[in-house]
């Protein structure tokens, strides 16, 4: 490979890496934070001492996750896209939503892991 090609590849790689850093900075500046890794830290964020998580609420959440009445058409549940039987995904390139339309931003359904299972 010619040295000019190697230099071009280095420049492209640097641009890609620099761009990625800018995106991380933009996300941080917008006030977004990463979801904590530990379940305890997540609970600190979502468990309100004035309205604590109870077993009954967890049971309700389980039922709603699989309930297609959560959608306008009453055909789609959370589990349609985040199918827990196959790892919390739907296995397709762009999620199919209401009216059988593909996600307009071409987003796929990220893996969901539920701690109650």
95 binds ligand HEC (CB under 6 A): yes
Give CA angle at 74 (70, 80), nearest 5°.
Answer: 70
84 binds ligand HEC (CB under 6 A): no
Q: Which of 83, 84, 89, 103 binds ligand HEC (CB under 6 A)?
A: 103
Nearest Cα neighbor of 92 from 104, 108, 106 is 108
Distance CA 89, CA 19 (A): 28
Structure tokens at 34: 């990463």
Nearest CB to ligand HEC, comparing residues 40 and 105: 105
The contact set with ligand HEC (CB under 6 A) reads 70, 76, 78, 80-82, 95, 97, 103, 107, 109-110, 112
């Amino acid at each position: 490979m010619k040295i000019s090609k190697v230099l071009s590849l280095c420049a492209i790689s640097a641009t890609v890496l620099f761009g990625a850093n800018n995106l991380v900075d933009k996300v941080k500046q917008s006030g977004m934070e990463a979801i904590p890794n530990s379940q305890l830290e997540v609970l600190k964020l979502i468990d309100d001492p004035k309205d604590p998580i109870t077993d009954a609420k967890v049971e309700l959440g389980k039922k709603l996750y699989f309930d297609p009445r959560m959608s306008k058409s009453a055909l789609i549940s959370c589990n349609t896209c985040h199918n827990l039987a196959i790892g919390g995904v739907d296995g397709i390139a762009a999620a199919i939503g209401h009216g059988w339309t593909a996600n307009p931003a071409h987003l796929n359904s990220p893996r969901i892991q539920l701690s109650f299972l």
